[in-house]
Amino acid sequence: MNRVVEAELLDSLPAEDARAVHSRADLRRLNVLMQHARLMARAWRRLGIPAQVDSVVELGAGDGTFCLALLRHLDPAFCAEEVTLVDRHLIVSEETRRALATISNRVKFPRSDVFEWLESAPPATVIIANLFLHHFEERELGQLLALAAERTQFFIACEPRRGGWSLFNSRLLGLIGCNDVTRHDAVVSVRAGFAGKELTRLWPAGFGWDAREGRAGLFSHGFTARLQRNPAP
């Protein structure tokens, strides 16, 4: 199946639109069903990320609930000096903000395009992306990954896995109450998802990076990159 990137309905709807609100609730439920927070926490531990870090950044963070779920799946002693949730829309609830504040000393919510934010962003210990990278064509995706690689020591992503099994199941989401926006976007997401080593090929080569990717769970595709040594000046 060739990779095809198409517009998703949720991206075109105002944040307060009732269909968008319903779809975001669907996405929270699907993240639980696909166990993305658990899968990413497992990858986090495999990378050997310490229990205390300077900063964690999520790109395309949406309502912030995924980042919160991930951090809660880590070691109980985990603490981040700073957590930054980057998104074009400011839709993080007060409840989620308060919960994140119990894990991190500083929590930031920059309302920004991720490319613009990364171009001037300070270094981050860990950058994560959940169901976000598949929105971009190869050229833009390569630019995004290059910018991230310049600013982090660890990168973790969990994305749709492109293939017949995932596509078949994406067409069944109406059976669990997902609305028209989610049903449309699920199919589009799978077609734009990843397989093989497509993200590894786009990640900047050399400079001590150990990049790995492959199947994650039943329907997902995981990617990790760890900086093993600092690049020479």
pLDDT tens, position by position, 28-61: 999 999 999 999 999 999 999 999 999 999 999 9
Superfamily name and number for 9-227:
Vaccinia Virus protein VP39 (3.40.50.150)
- On average, the pLDDT of the chain sits at 95
C-beta separation of 71 from 45 below 8 A: no
Instruction: Spell out the domain ranges in the chain.
Output: 9-227
pLDDT for residue 143 is more than 60: yes
Between CA 148 and CA 176 the distance in angstroms is 36
pLDDT value of position 101: 94
What is the rounded distance in angstroms from the CA atom of residue 111 to the CA atom of residue 118?
12
| Full-model pTM | 0.94
Q: What percent of the chain has pLDDT over 70?
A: 97
Tokens representing 91 are 């839709």
Question: Cα-flanking dihedrals φ and ψ of residue 23, to 5°?
Answer: -65, -40
Please give the structure tokens belonging to residue 217. Answer: 């769970």
pLDDT (0 to 100) of residue 4 = 97
Residue with tokens 């989620």: 96
Say how far apart CA 107 and CA 102 lie, in whole Å: 10
The pLDDT of residue 90 is 82
Q: Residue 230 — pLDDT band, cuts 50, 70, 90?
A: low
pLDDT in the model for residue 232: 43
**Res. 136: pLDDT tops 70:** yes
Lateral strand order in the sheet of 79-86: 104-108, 79-86, 52-59, 124-130, 152-160, 220-227, 209-216
Q: Is the per-residue pLDDT at 181 higher than 90?
A: yes
